[in-house]
Every structure is written in C-alpha cells, then in structure tokens.
Amino acid sequence: MSDLPFTHSATSRSGDLAQRCANGQRLGWLSRVSLACWLMFAAGSVSQAQLSEAPIRASQLPSLGDGSELAAASERRLGDRIASSIFRDPDYIDDPVLGDYLQGIWQPLMDAARQRGELSAELEERFAWTVMLVRDRTVNAFALPGGYLGIHTGLIAVVSSADELAAVMGHELSHVTQRHISRLMTQQQRQMPWVIGAMILGALAASKSPDAANVAIVGGQALAAQGQLNFSRDMEREADRVGFGVMVDAGFEASGVSGMFEKLQQASRLNDNGSFPYLRSHPLTTQRIAEARARLQTAAPGPSAHAMPRNPHLHSMMSARAQVLGNPGVDALRRLMTQAQRVKSAPVSMVALTPELAGSLYGGAFAASRLREHAVAHTLAARLKTLASTLHGATSTADLLMIEVDLEAGKIAEAAAESQFSMATSRAELMVQARALLAAGRAAEVADTLQIWVVTHPKDALAWQLLSDAWGRQNQLTRAVRAEAESRVAQLDYPAALDRLKAAQELMRSGRDGSGPNMHIEASIIDTRTRQVAALIREQALEDKIDRKLQP
C-alpha cells in the first residue's frame, strides 16, 4: 500500500479501482468523482499530456531538484478539476466558524514553510493553498495536486489540541511543498516500460509455457508496485521530517506529533475498525515511529520563541462543533445534549469554565439546536456565554453560537440584536451575523459590508451567495444573479457561472431589473466576466481534447 493518500490506486489496486470507477461506485465520501480514480487516470493520460508540454513551456519547469517532470501549472489544473468535484459534493461544507479555526492553524504553517524555504515563490503563486472541510466522521486528511488540503470533521473531533491538528496539517502541507504527488506521477511514468516489457515477454513465453507467461507478467507488475511503494515511503518520511520542522517553527508544540502518533498507534493496535482512513494511507512503520521519536527527543525544550498562544477552550468547542457537523445519529446528539444538561443547574459563580465544560456546553447546545430542542439549546448557549465572558478568545465563539441557536429557533429579532456586524473582525463573525441581519430585513447593511469583503476575498463563495441574497432582497436582480455567478466561479464551476452571467445579460436587455442608476457599470462588469469565464471554459475543453488524443 502506498503511503500517500489516495495514490495507491495507481499501483496494485488499479484494475479493481478502474472497474469500480466504471461502475460508478462511491469510493470513500466523494460520490461524484473518486479522488483515487482521478489520480489513477492522471498518472496515465493526464500526466502524459502534461509531460509532453514540458520541453515547450520552459517557463513552467519545476524547481531544480524536486524530481518531478510535471509543471506546477499542470499540477494546479489537475487539482482544480478534482476540487471542482469536491465543491459540488454534498459532503463538502463551508462552515465559517470551523473554517476560521482551521485558518488560524494553516496560516502560521504557511508562514513557517515560506520562511524555511520549503514553499518556493513559484508554488506560492501558482497553487491554490485552499483548505477544504469534508463532512465525515472518519479520522482523515488528504493533500491534492495544486495545493488543496482536505480535512474531515472526524479528525477535528478526535484530536486533543490544536498542536495535534497542526501536526497533521503540517505533514500534508509538506506533501504539497515537496511536490510528492507530481513526483509520484513521474515515477509511475518511468516504471511503465518495465510493465510493458513484462507483458511482451509474457506474450512471447505463452506459446511455450503458460505458467512462465503468468510469472513474467505478474513479476513485472510486482516490480513496478514495489518500486512505487519504496518511493512513497521515502516521501512519507520526508513529509514527517519537513512537516515537523514547519509546525515547530510555526509556534506549535512538538508534543502534538507524539499525541497524534499515540492515537494512530492505539488505532493500529485495535486493527483499525475503519474509523482511521488516515492510518491506512499513512501506515505507522517502525522506521517512521523511530525517526519521529528521535526528532522529539532532540527538539528544543521549553516554549518556542514564536509559540502560538494556547487556547484549549476554543479547541474543545471546535472539536464539539465538528462532532455535531459530522452528522451523527439522533442518539449521539441526544447524548451530547444530556451530558451538557447535567451541569446546567449549578450556580454560575461556583463553576469554573474548564475546556471540557466549554466543549460539553457548546456541543450540547449545538446538538439540541439540531434536534429542534430550542429551549434547551438556548439555555445551554446562554450558560456558556456567561461563563465565557471573562475568557479571552472564547467570548466571540460563544456569542456566535447564541446567534446561531436563536436564528435556528426563529428568534430573528433576538439574533439580530445580538449581532455587532459593523465591528466584525473575522469571516465567521461576518457570515453568521450577515445571516441574522438578512433574516431581520437589513439587507442594505449586509450588501454594503459584503461588497467590500469580496473585493479582497474574491474566492469566498459563501460571501458571494450572501451578497446575492442581499441584493435580491433589494430587488437588484442583475447584481444578485451576477453575485451568484461569482460564487460558482469561486467553486470552479465555470459552466454554471456562464449560465448565470448570460441570465444577468438577459435581465439587463429586458429592462426587468430594479437596480436603479449606474447600471452601465454593472453591465460592463457582467460583459467582461462573461468573456473571461467563456475563455476559461474553452481552455478546459482544449486541454480535455489534447488529453483524449494522447490517451493510448
């Protein structure tokens, strides 16, 4: 089995996965396009197409010494195709609260990789560097071509600290910065002659001895598979080494690595019941464990000069949120709610808000809201808000939970009154409070603020969707449709975006829009974006055509 997530499909299991892809079976959580199938075919037809371009596009050659013949731009295009399918999958979620928490870990890791020289200027410019959240209770994370990182809600729910989560994210980030996926694809290309040669020898031997033919064919396949496996293990150890340095330089505790290893080892001793896909794609070999322990022993004792501020209360609440968003059954949600209710009757003055209590109250309130036990949810959220009022870094999270709970209960006036939209300092505050204000009929206020936000965050699909809602409520139909198109562009769904842009043009021509003056500016924006998106679609079609011609 390969040590890289999802890339094992290109070796010994390629035939089985190809059949499953053809049958349209669901592999893992991704129903529309299997990542394993994507990478399997990419190692063949796509990489052949892009490798043929390498001598021509000298400006796209990878950095010297990375061992990859696949240009960074080509790898990004492959990653975009996979990511566009993930964005459309029902299990992809854009949760602003969890998203902010992940970004609080991701950005320091990126800064550290940049300062260490692991992240080259070329990769930083060409790759997406996007963290994607997947609704799945299994413990898993994965790196994709082009700088996309996937995190399962189950991973966030099981780790004990931000340091453990940083250990996983730093490891996956290193898979990308070290070009492991493209190097693996290059290695597969180099091994193809061995497989083809073995098949030719097998065909020649078939006339004399069928057994000899089978041995020749299977032997050639085994040789390629073993070479691939050895190459992947080297990558895994490299990601361990580089990822450890990145997370420590980013200010996270080295103990996060040991904590994550302990969880994986425990799951390994239990033979992994299927809840740890990360363990199967990153098997704990004896050498990996020994090298990790050696690094921990030589790590500088004491806190780092750039140590990240510890906020165990926030992590505990985010872990509880991920557990609820992982879509557990009704019994699990009721268990969370009941556990939180056990402590609600004690006087506030006699209760200290420990991280465990913060997570319990947060998870109980969020679970009760999902169960439509609105009175219970409000009580638990109010208690958490009171207890968290004196804790730095926990107050905002508790306030946002109260807004979400009241909004879910239909208490629109209360949710809007609790919002401080004009003073929002984070994406989570903007998105959660925008929903509350839209429900309260304050669309103009939301539109004014989000217009400024999307100028600096044009790839924020959720912000564009909320802006579309705000403009629609003001009867500015053309702008609403254009904002909806931009949300599709942000999720790489260019055909859907083009359809909406053309609909916006039709609204302009028909005169049915109620947007008022200065619509000539809006018309110019729509026309420009229509041409740009149409050009992107033509470029994709041309690349697909080239790939089909180069397929064997």
Sequence-distant (6+) residues with CB within 8 A of 30 are 85, 86, 89, 91
Please give the pLDDT value at position 45.
36
323 and 217 co-located in one domain = no
Residue 362 domain-assigned (yes or no): yes
DSSP H or E segment with residue 148 = strand 148-152
CATH number of the domain bearing residue 527: 1.25.40
Tokens 């069928």 belong to residue: 210
Question: Which letter does DSSP use for residue 381 in this model?
Answer: H
- Integer Cα distance of 117 and 466 in angstroms: 38
Residue count (the chain): 552
Domain match, 132 and 221 both: yes
Cross-strand bridge partners of residue 149: 131, 143
Same domain, 365 and 491: no
Same domain membership, residue 127 and residue 258: yes
* Domain end point (choices 298, 323, 339): 298
The predicted pLDDT at position 229 comes to 42
For residue 345, is it within any domain? yes
Asked if 21 and 150 sit in the same domain, the reply is yes
Between CA 128 and CA 144 the distance in angstroms is 10
Residue 130 carries which DSSP code? E
Residues 218 and 354 in one domain: no
Neighbours of 469 (CB within 10 A): 19
pLDDT at 457: 96
Intervals of the chain under pLDDT 70: 1-69, 187-231, 270-273, 300-308, 344-351, 512-518, 547-552
Residues 277 and 332 in one domain: no
126-160: buried (b, 16+ CB within 10 Å) or exposed (e) per residue?
A: bbbbbbbbbbbbbbbbbbbbbbbbbbbbbbbbbbb
Phi/psi region, residue 518 (left: phi>0; alpha: psi -120 to 50; beta: rest), is left
Same domain? 39 vs 187: yes
- Using alpha carbons, select from 193, 288, 195, 286 the residue that is nearest to residue 236: 288
What pLDDT score was predicted for residue 414?
95
User: Which domain-ending residue is among 245, 264, 298?
Assistant: 298
Is the residue at 421 inside a domain?
no
Domain count along the chain:
3
Closest Cα partner for 351 from 388, 317, 392? 388
- Of 265, 298, 331, which marks where a domain is finished? 298
- For residues 453 and 331, state if they share a domain: no
- The 10s digit of each residue's pLDDT in 398-450 is 999 999 999 999 999 999 999 999 899 999 999 999 999 999 999 999 999 99
**What is the predicted pLDDT for the residue at 515?**
58
- Give yes or no: residues 147 and 249 share one domain: yes
For 487, the domain range is: 442-552
Backbone angles phi, psi at 351, to 5 degrees: -115, 130
Question: Are residues 495 and 394 part of one domain?
Answer: no
Entry pTM? 0.81
In a domain, 409, yes or no: yes
| Summary count for the chain: helices (H), strands (E) | 25, 4
